[in-house]
A = this chain, B = another copy of it.
Amino acid sequence: VLRGKNLGKFNFRDKMLHKIINLTVRDVRFPTSLDQHGSDAMHTDPDYSAAYVVLDTDSGLTGFGLTFTLGKGTEIVVCAVEALARLVVGKCLQEIVSDFRGFYRLLTSDSQMRWLGPEKGVIHLATAAVLNAVWDLWARTEGKPLWKLLVDMEPKQLVSCIDFRYITDVLTEEEALDLLVKAQEGKQHREDQMQKEGYPAYTTSCAWLGYPDEQLKQLCTDALKSGWTRFKVKVGADLEDDVRRCRIIRQMIGPDNTLMIDANQRWDVAEAISWVSKLAEFRPLWIEEPTSPDDILGHAAISKCQNRVMFKQFLQASALQFVQIDSCRLGSVNENLAVLLMAHKFNVPVCPHAGGVGLCELVQHLILFDYICVSADLRNRMCEYVDHLHEHFTCPVVIQDAHYMPPKDPGYSCEMLESTVQRHQYPEGNVWKNMKK
C-alpha cells in the first residue's frame, strides 16, 4: 500500500515513465553540539547536518535523499549537489534505472567535475545525496520500501547497478552475479525471519566523549533495561580518561555483553598500537578508525572508506576485520552493493556505520538486503544505532528489543518533516536565527 502526501496525483499507468522536473537542495542543521551529542576525539562539537535533496517529477511523486555532514561546510556540499543537478533534471526514471551503471558513471565521471574527487570528499557526498533521492523515488514508484525493492530484484538487474571500474581485479560482473544467484537459497526464510525478529543493532548513544561519567552511567542503565547488549565507546583524546570510561562501562554492562571502541582517526600507527594495548583489558570486539582513513597499510583494524576502490584494498590487504558501509559516504546503493559483494567474497562481516542524522533510517535497508540476499549470516554482525533526531523523519526507524524492524513504508526512509526542514534550515531557520540573539 502506498502512503505519503504526494501519492494522490500519481498515475500508475505511467509508472517508471515519470520525469524528474526539478531538484532542490537545502542546508539543514541541528545544534547537537550544545549538548555534546556526537562528540568524539576528532569531532569535538558536531552539529549533525544534512544536504537534503528533493526530486520533483511530472507525476506528482517526489523522491527524497540526503547526505550527512557535521555542520560547517554543509553549504559546500549543497553547492556540489547544485552542480550535479543538470545531470539529473529532465531524465525520466526509466531512463536512469535501465542503465543505472551508466547514470552512476555520468555523475562520478563528468569529464570536468571528476578532477574535484574523483569519487571522494565533497563531490562524492553530493553524489550520494542525489543518488539516495533517485533510489527513494524508484522505491516509491514501485510502492516498496527500498530493502524490499532490492530483495525482489533479479541478480542480473542488481549487478547492472554496479560500476565495476577499478575493482575487476577483485570482483568481476560475472563473479558478482554468481554470488547473488547462489545466495538466493533460503531467501524467503530469511525475509520472514527479519520481518519477525529484525536485524541486530548496537548502541553508540551511551558514551560520547563529551558526556560526564554520571550521564554515561545513567545511559548505560537505561540501555540495559531496554534490551541492549552491545555498546560502543568513543576514545582517543586522553588515555587516562579512556581507561576510566571503559572501566565504568565494562562494569555496568558486565563481562558477557559486547564492547567496541572508536578513536575516530586520532592516532598515528605506533600510537594506536600502544594506546589500544592499554585498553585491551576491557576486551573490545573491535577498534574503529585508529588512524587515517587513507592508510591501508597502517594496520587499520576497521575503517569507513570513501569508495569501493579503498574498500577493495583494505580487503585485499587483510587490513580490516569488519566492514563498515556508509549510506552517505559511499555512492549510494550502487556503490554499497559492490562493497557488500566484496566483503562477502572475502568473508568479512559487515557492521554498518549509522547515527548522525538519517544514517540509521537509510542504512537499515542495505543491511537487511545484505542478510536476505548476500551474506545469509548474522554471526558477528550488527548495525550501529544512535538514538537521536529520528523524530524529524516521516518514517523513523523502529527499534524493538535492540533490533532494527524492517521498514514498511515505500521509499528509502529519509523524508524529513517539512516543519523540521523549515525550522532547521541554515542560516535562515528559526532554530538558528534565535540562537544568534
Q: Which of A118, A293, A294, A317 has the most CB of B within 10 A?
A: A294
- Nearest neighbor of A46 in chain B, beta-carbon distance: B112
Q: Which chain A residues in 275-302 approach chain B with CB under 8 Å?
A: 291-298
Question: Shortest CB–CB separation between residue A206 and chain B, in angstroms?
Answer: 21
Question: Shortest CB–CB separation between residue A57 and chain B, in angstroms?
Answer: 25
Question: Shortest CB–CB separation between residue A386 and chain B, in angstroms?
Answer: 16
**A182 interface residue (CB < 8 Å to B):** no
- Nearest neighbor of A81 in chain B, beta-carbon distance: B76
A114 and B83 within 8 A (CB): no
- Nearest neighbor of A43 in chain B, beta-carbon distance: B111
9-residue interface stretch from A164-172, A225-233, A246-254, A377-385 = A164-172
Question: Shortest CB–CB separation between residue A293 and chain B, in angstroms?
Answer: 7
Q: Which chain A residues in 149-175 approach chain B with CB under 8 Å?
A: 164-169
9-residue interface stretch from A9-17, A304-312, A345-353 = A304-312
Bits for A87-130, please: 1 = Cβ < 8 Å to B, else 0. Answer: 00000000000000000000001111111111111111100000
B83 and A72 within 8 A (CB): yes
Q: A268-B166, A297-B317 are in contact. Are A83 and B75 (CB under 8 A)?
A: yes
Question: Shortest CB–CB separation between residue A46 and chain B, in angstroms?
Answer: 6
**A431 interface residue (CB < 8 Å to B):** no
A80 and B73 within 8 A (CB): yes
A166 to B298, CA, bound (A): 9
Question: Shortest CB–CB separation between residue A364 and chain B, in angstroms?
Answer: 22
- Nearest neighbor of A265 in chain B, beta-carbon distance: B118
Bits for A162-202, please: 1 = Cβ < 8 Å to B, else 0. Answer: 00111111000000000000000000000000000000000
**A332 interface residue (CB < 8 Å to B):** no
**A47 interface residue (CB < 8 Å to B):** yes
A76 to B113, CA, bound (A): 10
Which residues of the partner chain B approach A47 to less than 8 Å between Cβ atoms? 112
Question: Shortest CB–CB separation between residue A265 and chain B, in angstroms?
Answer: 7
**A77 interface residue (CB < 8 Å to B):** yes
Q: A165-B268, A297-B317 are in contact. Are A73 and B309 (CB under 8 A)?
A: no
A269 to B170, CA, bound (A): 10
Specify the main secondary structure of chain A where it touches its partner: loop
Q: A121-B117, A122-B80, A297-B316 are in contact. Are A111 and B270 (CB under 8 A)?
A: no
A121 to B116, CA, bound (A): 5
Which residues of the partner chain B approach A376 to less than 8 Å between Cβ atoms? none
Q: A294-B309, A297-B317 are in contact. Are A116 and B73 (CB under 8 A)?
A: yes
B70 and A79 within 8 A (CB): no
Q: A80-B76, A268-B169 are in contact. Are A112 and B293 (CB under 8 A)?
A: no
Q: A169-B268, A169-B269 are in contact. Are A118 and B43 (CB under 8 A)?
A: no
Which residues of the partner chain B approach A80 to less than 8 Å between Cβ atoms? 73, 76, 122
A297 to B298, CA, bound (A): 14
**A399 interface residue (CB < 8 Å to B):** no
A292 to B109, CA, bound (A): 12
Which residues of the partner chain B approach A75 to less than 8 Å between Cβ atoms? 79, 83
B307 and A294 within 8 A (CB): yes
Closest 7 pairs (CB-CB, A-B): A121-B121, A122-B122, A166-B292, A72-B112, A169-B269, A71-B112, A294-B309
Beyond A166-B268, A166-B294: 16 further Cβ-contacts under 8 Å? A43-B114, A43-B115, A44-B111, A46-B115, A70-B113, A72-B112, A72-B113, A75-B83, A76-B76, A118-B265, A118-B293, A121-B122, A122-B122, A294-B309, A295-B309, A298-B309
A residues sitting closer than 8 Å to B (CB atoms) are 42-47, 69-73, 75-77, 79-80, 83, 109-125, 164-169, 265, 268-271, 291-298, 306-307, 309-310, 312-313, 316-317
18 A-B contact pairs sorted by A residue (CB < 8 Å): A43-B115, A46-B111, A47-B112, A70-B111, A72-B110, A72-B113, A73-B80, A75-B83, A76-B83, A77-B116, A116-B121, A122-B122, A165-B268, A165-B292, A166-B268, A292-B309, A296-B297, A297-B316
